[in-house]
Amino acid sequence: MKQIVGYLLIICCFPILISLGKQIWKEIDTTNSYEEQIQQQIHLPEITNQLPITMLDKNGKVFNEEYVEWRQPLQLEDIPDTIKQIYLLSEDKEFFTHIGFNLSAITRAIVVNSSQQSSEQGGSTITQQLVRMRYLTEEKTYERKLTELFYAYHLEQIYDKEAILEMYLNEIYFSNQVYGIGAAATYYFQKPLDELSIAQMAFIAAIPNNPSLYDPLRHFEKTKARQERLIDILSENNTISPEEAKQYKSEKITLHVKDKIQKHPAYSTYVLNELKSLIANNENLEEQLHTKTAEDKAKVEEQIDSKLQQLLRKGIIIHTALDPSKQQEDEQQIDSILGLGELQASAVVIDNSTREIVSLYAGKHYKKYDFHRAYQAVRQPGSSFKPLIVYAPLFETTDYTPKSIVSGGHYCIANFCPQNYGGGVYGNVSIATAFRDSYNTSALRLFHLIGLETGFRYIDRFHFESIVQEDRTYAAGLGGLTYGVTTLEMADAYSSFIDGSYERAHSIRKVTDLEGNVLYSWKNERETIWSPHTVNYIRSLLSDVVARGTGKGLWVDSSYIGAKTGTTNDYKDFWLAGLTDEYTAAVWIGYDVPKSMQSMENEKVHFKIFNTIMN
């Protein structure tokens, strides 16, 4: 009896609901601000969720993926008809005829919920479910339901049925942070959707009805039971035959769950950093970062971040120059060389022919997003800076040669009076000797000869991000800087000694969208920094350092090897920068909190690392 009275009360309430609905529609039509709000919340012409970033190594193999939610959206025409039928028949048979909501289904839900004294019976169309997933909450109240109806109707005025179905199939949740039917296929079976069997399609299609209950990693049997119910629905609606239904239900389901690929974190972390630089370069924003005021610079950085976010929403593939076997071997060998304790290192290896970064060492036992010593650690470069700011500019702008004579005696410029290593005082020596044995006083004399402006005119052509106006003193000729340089910047600048040309070293070859269209790439334009005679002189001097000078102990299986060492005050940093026929590299060792390494000077740890990464 009570149930009958309940039904009568519900039916009597319909005129009130209809009247209330008319008043709300009138309010929507007459209130501009509310209309604008609806437009903002509903009229979304593209998916705004972040899609995965995929990184490929030099061989075209995936080595890293960046995502919080696994999404692989598909176009409707690429989604098998079986999937469409499963959802249309099980969720919304009248999808192609209703106006966004189905009054008969809503009535049934109200009656059932009233009799159960709850609001759990569903009457939602596919359009309503899409609205709820994108714009509303999962709160189960009649107020939210009414708003959902209006939004669903409005959505159907904006998009056609096919577009709504496509959005729905790409938005539904498949548990384990997987969204969309395409992503579900690759996550649970590691296959594209169109390569799944009908049994497998029905199995993943079972999950969204209740992603917690039908999570196949925790409740496989429950997922399997719902899969069979969906197959029966296909059979009952003559989409498949009873015999086929029996066959599909008996097919064994074996999951091949996708692991998130995150190899070579030192390299992938740098790639993400370089991506911002690439965007700035291609969008002609890079120069503004160095010439604007702090306030204007912040605005430029906002533009770059906005461009980056646009990329992330669409999903991108980053093609890189990573040599995976070399990266792995270099990391393992350097970790072993450093051993236990707090001693740290960084190293960068650049391919001479392409100027691409093929391996990076960011620190001992590096983990993703840790402090990246290869490009974030700014340290004093010591004498390894001399070839770039003193000797190469000297040969480029004067008629001096390695055989020219320079004094190794005391020399001061104002109050700056550096000493040679060990306090040594020398007479007239050849430039080759001064270079090979790293005489500070000789380098200072030559720097004074060419002048600050000349030396920094060449330094400014490279990408030393932390060199500031205050560095334009003669101390810079010996590597004395306000902040310093990074290992990557040193390797990058030394690559100009390959043949005199310079192209910014890079890890990214190109960035494409998911269809393979190139979005960004470096322009690969080389400029000539050094003339042939300067290159020959510097390469000869670097080679002599290895053969008879401070670089004795370096050995590489190459017809050519040249390098320059660097040691900072109080032995807080040890450097090596140089090149072979194949690679250009820079190595730094030290402590994150600088302290003396004098006691380990003879161990030549940085030599061992250089030999490892260059062989």
- Report helix angle 452-459 to 440-450, nearest 10: 90
Helices and strands per DSSP (H, E), number in the chain: 23, 16
Where do we find the tokens 């390695």? 402
Residue 533's CB is within 10 A of a number of other CB atoms, namely: 12
**Separation of first and last alpha carbons in the chain:** 90
Q: Which residues are catalytic?
A: 91, 383
Q: Which residues contact 96 (CB under 8 A, 6 or more apart)?
A: 161
Residue 309's alpha-carbon distances to 261, 302, 393, in angstroms, are 22, 10, 42
CA atoms within 13 A on the CB side of 91: 25
- In b/e form, how buried is each residue of 142-164, taking b as 16+ CB within 10 angstroms? eeebebbbbbbbbbbeebeeeeb
Distance CA(573)–CA(552), nearest Å, equals 18
Contacts 24+ apart (CB under 8 A), 185-194: 186/70, 186/72, 186/258, 187/70, 187/257, 187/258, 188/216, 188/255, 188/256, 188/257, 188/258, 189/255, 189/256, 190/256, 190/257, 190/258, 191/256, 193/74, 193/78, 193/79, 193/80, 193/83, 194/78, 194/80
Question: SS3 for 347?
Answer: strand
409 torsion bin: left (phi>0), alpha (psi -120 to 50), beta (else): beta
- Which residue, chain included where needed, has tokens 């899409």? 130
Beta bridge partners, 565, equal 576
Pair of tokens at residue 577: 């920068």
Question: 518 phi and psi, to 5 degrees?
Answer: -75, 125
Grouping H, G, I as helix, E, B as strand and the rest as coil, residue 426 is coil
Nearest to 72 by CA among 156, 190, 153: 190
Name the token pair of 155: 């959505």
Assigned token pair, 234: 């296909």
